[in-house]
Amino acid sequence: MSDADLLYTDTEEDLRDSVRRLLADRCPPETVVTAYDASPADFSGAWKSMATELGLAGLLVPEALGGAGASAREAAVVMEEIGRAAAPVPFLSSAVLATVALLTAGETHTLSALASGAVTGALAVPLSTGPGRVTPGVRAGEDGLTGRVTSVAGGHEAEVLVVPVAGAEGLELHTVSRSAAGLTVTPLVSLDMTRPLADLDFAGVTSTRVDSGNAEAAVRSALLCGAALLASEQTGVAQWCLDTTLAYVKDRKQFGRAIGSFQALKHRLADLWLEVSSASAAARYAADTYARGDADAEIAATLAQAYCSGVAVHAAEECIQLHGGIGMTWEYPAHLYLKRAKSDQLAFGTAYQHRARLAELIDLPNT
């Protein structure tokens, strides 16, 4: 195995610039905040541009299958920028979770469609699914798939669902069309409406099995990749909060002085800078080890999730507090980042669950 490299390449920085420009144009804060309105803005155009113009839908798909042939390192850069913009795009649910599950299972037809951006997919598991916990809520029977899966990220906007199924001989992986008879998709009102969730009900739904006995490995790989890359989104959220707060305290004046010159605030922001820098390193290491297929990939992803989720929440809380009254307003975008951070804190398991899993992975005695 090669040594870890946490530095960004020129290609990765160019990718970052392209994604940042597109999101600044298509997902500015004043538009993103409408996700909480009765008539939210339509963000499908932003995702279509990311998927097709930038080729991000197939970032993790080999070139032979119509993708970009990139790795988790490049996907992590995209996730950082999505976090920085709190962008309501289904990159995580479609280009990561659904894509990695199909890729690991060996499916090619749906995978190529996802890579081209022609369709959007979602992995039918609760977003809160923790490490090592693959419990299918759907069963295969003579009449098709039956069961229920709650709180699926991207479930409402996905045209293809990748569904873990309890079969006669163990876990199976099936694909289901969004328009299939017997499938009911119910959008949910959630804390973070920039990553919408939906409940899925299956009543005799026709499906296509796509695995070859490796469904459990496919789902676990998708969840591991999702957890590793979510840490990069969390650092993107935290970095925006830190940068925005620093700019504000340098400009906001009280008693004739910029409030950033007050020693108490200096100490709080210095501590926050250290937390965000540490989280960035942990997230980068998680993406790099996954990209290289390193033996420590699960340890790195679990460590990153145990740490980065709390840092994102703390950064968002400090951002709102140190902005004073304006930070509490609906018009100011700080609440978008707190909601994304709190939602991410529960995704793929809580920090407590990841610490417990980390103890198992490194054989730490439970005393």
User: What value does the mean pLDDT take over residues 114-124?
Assistant: 97
Domain boundary assignment for the chain: 10-119, 138-214, 216-361
Task: Using CB atoms within 10 Å of the CB of residue 269, give its burial: 0 to 12 exposed, 13 to 18 middle, 19+ buried.
Answer: middle
Architecture of the CATH domain 10-119: Orthogonal Bundle (1.10)
- 259 neighbors 284 (Cβ within 8 angstroms): no
Counting every residue written for the chain, the total comes to 367
What per-residue confidence (pLDDT) applies to 95? 98
The CATH H-level superfamily of 138-214 is Butyryl-CoA Dehydrogenase, subunit A, domain 2 (2.40.110.10)
Amino acid at position 306, single letter: A
259-268 pLDDT, tens digit each: 877 889 999 9
Task: Using CB atoms within 10 Å of the CB of residue 143, give its burial: 0 to 12 exposed, 13 to 18 middle, 19+ buried.
Answer: exposed
- Tokens 């803005």 -> residue: 41
Cα gap 102→174, rounded to integer Å: 9
User: What is the per-residue DSSP string for 254-317?
Assistant: ETTEEGGGSHHHHHHHHHHHHHHHHHHHHHHHHHHHHHHT-TTHHHHHHHHHHHHHHHHHHHHH
Cα gap 161→177, rounded to integer Å: 6
User: Is the pLDDT score of 156 beyond 90?
Assistant: yes
DSSP reduced 3-state for 210: coil
Cα gap 283→227, rounded to integer Å: 10
Cα gap 174→210, rounded to integer Å: 6
32-87 pLDDT, tens digit each: 999 999 899 999 999 999 999 999 999 999 999 999 999 999 999 999 999 999 99
Name the DSSP letter for residue 65.
G
Of 1.10.1740.110, 2.40.50.140, 3.30.413.10, 1.20.140.10, which CATH number belongs to 216-361? Answer: 1.20.140.10
